[in-house]
Amino acid sequence: MPASPGHRSPSRFVLPLNESILRKERFNIGQIFVQRCIVIMTLITGLNMLLITGASGRIARRAAALLAQKGYSLRLMTRHPQQAPAVDGAEVVRGDFAEPATLDGAFAEVSAALVISGSGKPGERAQLHRNAFEAAVRARVGHVVYLSLQGASPRSKYLYSRDHSLSEQYLAATGLPYTVLRNAFYLDMFLEKFDVEGVMRGPANETRGAFVSREDAARTAAAVLANPPGGTHDVTGPEALSLAEVARRFSALTGRQLRYQSESGESGRERLRKREEASWRVDLAVGWFEAIAAGELEHTSDTVFRFTRKEPMNIEQYFTLFPELSQSLRLAQDKDSGS
């Protein structure tokens, strides 16, 4: 039967519709591809500048190297530019938290900034950090990543953790988007805790701490700076250890007889006052152990894995990967043996 005037066969009606849909889908796919290319080119051409402060320090150096490997444009700020790491393509600038006038240029045209703790006495560092945050506000930085400490609190036993708590408050008050990474005490710190006799003394009792490697802290900082998630996150190692266990593990690793000896806070202060005149340094040294005893660092987290997709390293993995770090303990063993 011939088709009546005005009648369209189903095939002639449906085909143009399908072609229209296909064209639209091809356009959307092409648009997504172009957008991704723009993002990549933005990173490559430096329109998405990342700032790292404290660039002479170990974590900053490592974070910068990791980000540079991925093609990010970097600006490295340090009080001593001559000590900045040699990172291909990175801009090095002088900046000092204690000199606010030096900060505006460092924070200018930055999309995200990693603010690493400045040096100073307890009670002074929070103001130094505040100077950095205020510079970020003036520069309209897109996101601030701040390295804090696990257990940061106005009531912490460790004076620097109190400073970090106040710094976090200052950062929140800026209104800028931010991420706080609360790092556990570093495994590296134990290298300086053993005396010439191989004894680590302090009032930590048998309480455990989820100590983290500086490498994992740097990897996490780099990942978060590149893609800031917001919020506050504890950055810890894979396990919570007592200091007696830490000493045993270091003994096996270095071949040196090491042990932990618990003492009261009062005994620790009395012992340290004999060789340290500055009372605040004594309080810091003893408070480090007291914070562990108070359970401020006993909880582990999955932060390292969530942001880096790599499990955090334990003592053996870390110091096997970086054997030069534990060289001081090994040298002490050689000196003790007279070799």
Q: What is the pLDDT of residues 46-101, one digit of tens each?
A: 448 999 999 999 999 999 999 999 999 999 999 999 999 999 999 999 999 999 99
Specify the pLDDT at position 332.
53
Q: What is the pLDDT of residues 134-184, one digit of tens each?
A: 999 999 999 999 999 999 999 999 999 999 999 999 999 999 999 999 999
Reported as a pLDDT band with limits 50, 70 and 90, residue 7 is very low
Cβ atoms of 255 and 198 closer than 8 Å = no
Cβ atoms of 136 and 174 closer than 8 Å = yes
Length of the chain in residues, anyone?
339
Residue 128 region by backbone torsions, left for phi larger than 0, else alpha for psi between -120 and 50, else beta: alpha
Phi and psi for 41 in degrees, rounded to 5?
A: -65, -30
Q: Which two tokens stand for residue 317?
A: 């993995």
Residue 305 above 80 pLDDT? yes
Specify the pLDDT at position 1.
45
What percentage of the chain carries pLDDT values higher than 70? 83
The CATH H-level superfamily of 46-334 is NAD(P)-binding Rossmann-like Domain (3.40.50.720)
Phi and psi for 78 in degrees, rounded to 5?
A: -155, 155
Tell me how far apart the 2 most distant CA atoms of the chain are, in Å: 113
Specify the pLDDT at position 331.
62
User: In whole angstroms, what is the distance from residue 217 CA to residue 138 CA?
Assistant: 28
Reported as a pLDDT band with limits 50, 70 and 90, residue 26 is low
10 Å CB burial of residue 91 (0-12, 13-18, 19+) is middle
pLDDT: which is higher, 338 or 224: 224
Domain boundaries, the chain: 46-334
Residue 338 above 50 pLDDT? no
Cβ atoms of 83 and 61 closer than 8 Å = no
Cβ atoms of 181 and 221 closer than 8 Å = yes
Helix, strand, coil % in the chain, rounded to nearest 5: 50, 15, 35
Residue 32 above 60 pLDDT? no
Reported as a pLDDT band with limits 50, 70 and 90, residue 252 is very high
Q: Average of pLDDT values for 16-20?
A: 47
pLDDT: which is higher, 28 or 234: 234
DSSP string, 244-296: HHHHHHHHHHHSS--EEEE--HHHHHHHHHTT---HHHHHHHHHHHHHHHTTT
Q: Work out the angle at residue 189's Cα, subtended by the Cα atoms of residues 187 and 191, and round it to the nearest 5 degrees.
A: 95
pLDDT: which is higher, 202 or 339: 202
Specify the pLDDT at position 71.
94
Phi and psi for 178 in degrees, rounded to 5?
A: -150, 160
Residue 38 above 70 pLDDT? no
Residue 5 above 70 pLDDT? no
Q: Average of pLDDT values for 304-323?
A: 97
Residue 11 above 80 pLDDT? no
